[in-house]
């Protein structure tokens, strides 16, 4: 029986790419950087994913990836690299302005209240995540929120998960499920922590043999099948 769900936010409960597109285009105008085309957004999105994977592998710190991704992106696109730090600071606030749910996640989380414990576990910044969780209504439905900047460690670090278990209701790890879209952060972190893992994989990607999740879903509504 699953008694506790640890939810990732970006790319799991909320459509991160939708918020990303709106925020970057808005800030391109604000910083007078010209038009941000679909092709540019696609290149940035791929670069951003690579930077976050470096964070999850422990190769870079969060401050390094947050500004570094924009420095590299601007350099590649022939834009003013000197605005990268200010751009990133404004970006953290803008990210929370657009709320797009994955698979009606708000209703799913609400329906699970009083049935299982539900907690947010996220590597996103405090500024961006607090705003997203407040405006989306997801934050008030959770039994707790754990953000890596507050914890002092990133997923998949065991330190992050040890902190979570020290602050949630007493529960057997075999009754805990982490649901997330990141193999390097959510799935590997959950496996290292000794809990069950569920990979949210709406695009039908293939997991490597060394990081296979216990469960795989393409739609968040499938979580009901796992709970039953």
Residue-wise pLDDT for 87-144, tens only, equals 999 999 999 899 999 999 999 999 999 999 999 999 999 999 999 999 999 999 999 9
Tell me, yes or no, if 8 is annotated catalytic. yes
Residues 56 and 148 in one domain: no
pLDDT tier for residue 165 given thresholds of 50, 70 and 90: very high
Residue with tokens 């606030």: 93
Domain that holds residue 218: 4-15+100-227
- Active-site residue, from 8, 103, 181, 186: 8
Phi-psi label, residue 71: left if phi above 0, alpha if psi -120 to 50, beta otherwise: alpha
Final residue before a domain boundary, out of 95, 119, 138: 95
Give pTM, 2 decimals. Answer: 0.91
Residues 204 and 150 in one domain: yes
Residues 116 and 60 in one domain: no
pLDDT at res. 96: 87
Which has the closest alpha carbon to 132: 124, 52, 152, 87?
124
CATH number at residue 36: 1.10.150
Tens-digit pLDDT profile for residues 53-101: 999 888 999 999 999 999 999 999 999 999 999 999 999 999 989 999 9
Final residue before a domain boundary, out of 95, 112, 139: 95
């Amino acid at each position: 029986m699953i008694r506790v769900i640890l939810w990732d936010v970006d790319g799991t409960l909320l459509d991160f790419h939708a918020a990303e597109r709106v925020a970057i285009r808005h800030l391109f105008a604000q910083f007078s950087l010209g038009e941000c085309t679909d092709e540019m957004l696609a290149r940035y999105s791929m670069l951003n994913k690579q930077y976050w994977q470096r964070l999850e592998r422990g190769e870079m710190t969060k401050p390094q990836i947050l500004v570094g991704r924009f420095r590299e992106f601007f350099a590649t696109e022939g834009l003013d690299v000197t605005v990268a730090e200010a751009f990133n600071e404004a970006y953290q606030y803008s990210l929370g302005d657009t709320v797009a749910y994955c698979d009606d996640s708000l209703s799913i989380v609400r329906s699970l209240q009083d049935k299982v414990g539900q907690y947010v576990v996220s590597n996103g910044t405090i500024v961006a995540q607090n705003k997203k969780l407040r405006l989306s209504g997801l934050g008030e439905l959770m039994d707790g929120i754990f953000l890596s900047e507050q914890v002092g460690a990133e997923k998949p670090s065991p330190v992050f998960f040890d902190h979570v278990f020290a602050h949630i209701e007493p529960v057997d790890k075999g009754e805990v499920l982490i649901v997330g879209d990141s193999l390097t952060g959510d799935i590997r972190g959950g496996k290292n922590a000794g809990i069950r893992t569920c990979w949210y994989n709406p695009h039908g990607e293939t997991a490597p043999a060394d990081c296979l999740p216990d469960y795989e879903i393409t739609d968040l509504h499938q979580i009901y099948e796992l709970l039953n």
